[in-house]
Chain A
Amino acid sequence: MLTVTNLEVCYGAISALRDVSFTIEAGRIVTLIGGNGAGKTTTLRTISGLLRAKRGSITFKGEEITKLPPHQIVARGLCHVPEGRMVFSNLTVDENLAMGAYLQSDKARIAQNREYVFSIFPRLKERLTQAAGTLSGGEQQMLAIGRALMGDPKLLMLDEPSLGIAPKLISTIFEKIVEINRVQGITILLVEQNANLALEVSHDAYVLETGSIVMRGASADLRNNPELKAAYLGG
């Protein structure tokens, strides 16, 4: 579904990604793990067009999207939930969801997606008229995911959904991520610092270290990999 080939990204003179290649099969949950500054967020932002690649190519559903602007990439069904629960804090929950459907024109489909978002995150329905900035961290993350689902994604990219959220809510959110994948068949690219959690819910995994992919494989295998265990899983 998504193929990234020899991707190279620089911030000015500093190179952030070097020769990154990976593929995501339709219907899978794929995770990209790695420490701080490994290039995980950079990878996602480049795929969604927020950053420009210096070299390499990105193809989505067989189509080259490397040089497309973000809104055209979203229109093709590739939705990005940015890091740090970036909701529109001055807009209400309802309006945030409406913004998620910005590029959708099919009213019936929008209503259907809305109902689906409420079915997985009932909390959002209770807070519909509340300004998003007044929600708790976990609720904002739910809203950010819900907003992306309103865009009718084929591939959903989640950037650190566990960041700064109460542990109890983290498990709820990850359960929902698995459910979105299983029930709706939406392919998911999950970026996480919490490697344990990420390997638990995903099918395939890539390990990113200082801008390069250093390990790849089935998540179940990587969880038992002694090297990875020592580096990321705490023994």
Chain B
Amino acid sequence: MPKPHLYLLAALLAAFGLSYYSDRLDPYYLDVLTGIGINIILAVSLNLVNGYTGQFSLGHAGFMSVGAYLSAGVTLFLGPRLLGEDGGTAVTQGVLFFFALVAGGLGAALAGLLVGVPSLRLKGDYLALVTLGFGEIIRVIFQNVEFLGGALGLNGIPAYTTIFWVLAFGALAVFTVTCLVNSTYGRGFLATKDDEIAAEAVGLNTTRYKIVAFVVGAFFAGAAGGLYGHFKMTITPTGFDFTKSIEIVVMVILGGMGNTLGVILAAILLTLLPEVLRPIAEYRMILYSFLLIVLMISRPQGLFNFKFGRAKS
């Protein structure tokens, strides 16, 4: 099935093309587009855990913060040493940034493994609580470690995040999740969600599936965190609190659990909505919440879920 590979290639080319012309775009639109891309990565990766595998995680912002701090650490502390006085060329900066993002992703994946192994035997609400607790613990740790800036966070992170990196990692996240889920191996994620006992009875190691989903999800959350840090140029522990996790969960639910395309659209919609509502200032969050309630009542199966169960591949 070479189709997803073609899509990935096309998306990477599009990302490259768009970033080539990004100078001519309005910086405001570019910022919104970057925000959308980061949210797509977060939502699509969480969808692997919450949607396809059916494990309710509330700790995605926690994994995001691990990646954000780690990759910012790489560019802030290792960058000057590796790139030299002049700050290096665009190419060397790009290479450094790529490794910083991968390091952030791997760090988050490791955190995912550490949290996942003991907690994934829990189900439903209990797992949600454990992951919620994890997110808070991470936040409190970052808040109290002087070396990482404490409550003020890390400042002066180089603005390496371009639309190219965001779209490239977005495409990679979508590609990875799609390929994982549509493979024979990946049917196991859906089987684990559908019926755990039946899945074990046919010989699936459901715990391993849950951990794989958790680790892969955390990896992309970490990479997204790295992109976020190098986009905002500053990160604070409060930016990755519980509300951020909820925000991502809402995207997944609104898009339709286990429906990657729907989740992408929901991520776009929920990033644009606050921007569109900007003119009405203080009423914005009221309307935003109200819209969410209406959407959930009218389309509980997800805004973009039109078929029974999973979309055909």
Contacts and interface: CB of A to CB of B under 8 A. Distances in A.
Interface of A: 48-50, 69-71, 74-75, 79-82, 86-91, 95, 98-100, 102-103, 131, 133-134, 144, 147-148, 151
A99 B184 CA distance: 8
Contact of B194 (A75, A82, A89): A89
Tell me which of B193, B197, B202, B309 has the highest count of chain A C-beta atoms within 10 A of its own C-beta: B202
Interface residues of B, number: 21
Contacts of A81: 201
Contact of A86 (B187, B197, B310): B197
A69 B258 CA distance: 28
B190 A75 contact: no
A74 B202 CA distance: 7
A131 B190 CA distance: 13
Interface in B169-196: 184, 187-188, 190-191, 193-195
B201 A103 contact: no
A136 to B, nearest CB: 16
A98 B202 contact: no
B203 A151 contact: yes
Interface in B183-232: 184, 187-188, 190-191, 193-195, 197-205
A87 B198 contact: yes
Tell me which of B187, B190, B198, B204 has the highest count of chain A C-beta atoms within 10 A of its own C-beta: B198
Interface of chain A: mostly helix, strand, loop or mixed:
mixed
A75 B191 contact: no
Given A87-B195, A98-B187, A99-B188, A147 B309 contact: no
Nearest to A75: B203
B18 to A, nearest CB: 36
Nearest to A81: B201
Given A91-B187, A98-B187, A148-B202, 4 more contacts: A49-B200, A95-B187, A99-B204, A133-B308
Contact of B201 (A50, A89, A91, A95): A50
A99 B201 contact: no
Contact of A82 (B184, B190, B201, B309): B201
Nearest to A69: B205
7 smallest CB-CB distances across A and B, nearest first, come from: A74-B203, A86-B198, A88-B194, A90-B309, A70-B200, A80-B201, A103-B203
B190 A98 contact: no
A127 to B, nearest CB: 14
Contacts of B203: 70-71, 74-75, 102-103, 151
A48 B198 CA distance: 11
B202 A50 contact: no
B121 to A, nearest CB: 13
Contacts of A134: 308
